[in-house]
Amino acid sequence: MFFVGDVCTNEYSSDVLSKFKSSDIYSLLNNYDGYVIANIEAPFLDENLFINNNKASFINNVAFYQYIDFIDIFNLSNNHIMDQGSDGLLKSIDNIEKLEKKYFGAGLSLLESRKPIIVDFEGYKVALFSYCCYSSNSESYAKVSSPGPAPLVYEYVKQDIDEYRDSVDFIIILPHWGIEHENQPTYDQVILARRLIDIGADAIIGTHTHTIQSFESYKGKSIYYSLGNFLMNDFQLTSSDKYYWSNLNKETMLLEMSICDGDLRFEETYLKLNQDMLPEVVSVDKLITNIDKINTTLVDKTSKLKHENYEPNLELSLKFNGKSMQIINTSKLVSSNFNGKIISLKTKVKRVVMNKLRKIL
Cα separation, 94 vs 44, in Å, equals 9
Write the burial class of residue 173 (CB in 10 Å: 0-12 exposed, 13-18 middle, 19+ buried).
buried
pLDDT tens string, the chain, 361 residues long: the values are 999 999 999 999 999 999 999 999 999 999 999 999 999 999 999 999 998 776 778 899 999 999 999 999 999 999 999 999 999 999 999 999 999 999 999 999 999 999 999 999 999 999 999 999 999 977 789 999 999 999 999 999 999 999 999 999 999 999 999 999 999 999 999 999 999 999 999 999 999 999 999 999 999 999 999 999 999 999 988 777 889 999 999 999 999 999 999 999 999 999 999 999 999 999 999 999 999 999 999 999 999 999 999 999 999 998 877 767 788 899 999 998 777 788 888 888 888 888 888 777 7
Distance between CA atoms of 204 and 193, rounded to whole angstroms?
A: 7
- Nearest C-alpha neighbor of 231 from the set 32, 22, 42: 42
Predicted pLDDT of residue 359:
77
CA distances from 47 to 53, 59, 103, 235 (A): 16, 8, 20, 17
CA atoms of 262 and 312, how far apart (whole Å): 29
Angle at 127 between CA 121 and CA 128, to 5 degrees: 105
Q: Do the beta carbons of residue 212 and residue 251 sit within 8 Å?
A: yes
Give the range of the structural domain holding residue 303, as residue numbers without chain letter. Answer: 2-360
Q: What is the pLDDT of residue 203?
A: 98
3 state SS of 127: strand
Please tell me the distance from the alpha carbon of residue 191 to that of residue 272, in angstroms, as a whole number.
30
Residues 49-86: b if buried by 16+ CB within 10 A, e if exposed = eeebeeeebbbbbbebbebbebbbbbbbbbbbbbbbbe
CA distance 168 to 186: 30
Instruction: For residue 316, give the nearest of 147, 181, 178, 114 by alpha carbon.
Output: 178
Inter-axis angle of helices 291-302 and 187-198, to 10 degrees?
A: 80
pLDDT digits (tens, 9 = 90+) for 313-330: 999 998 877 767 788 899
Where residue 178 sits, what CATH number does that domain have? 3.60.21.10
Residue 349 to residues 56, 244, 322, 342: CA-CA distances in angstroms? 19, 10, 20, 11
* Dihedral of alpha carbons 46, 128, 329, 110, sign: positive
Q: What is the pLDDT of residues 234-287, one digit of tens each?
A: 998 877 788 999 999 999 999 999 999 999 999 999 999 999 999 999 999 999
Segment (H or E) for 192: helix 187-198
Quote the pLDDT of residue 54. Answer: 64
pLDDT for the residue 238:
77
Structural domains of the chain, count? 1
How far apart are alpha carbons 99 and 7 in whole angstroms?
Answer: 18
Are residues 58 and 80 in contact, defined by beta-carbon separation less than 8 angstroms?
A: yes
Rounded CA separation 34/122 (Å): 9
pLDDT (0 to 100) of residue 225: 98
3-state secondary structure of 88: helix
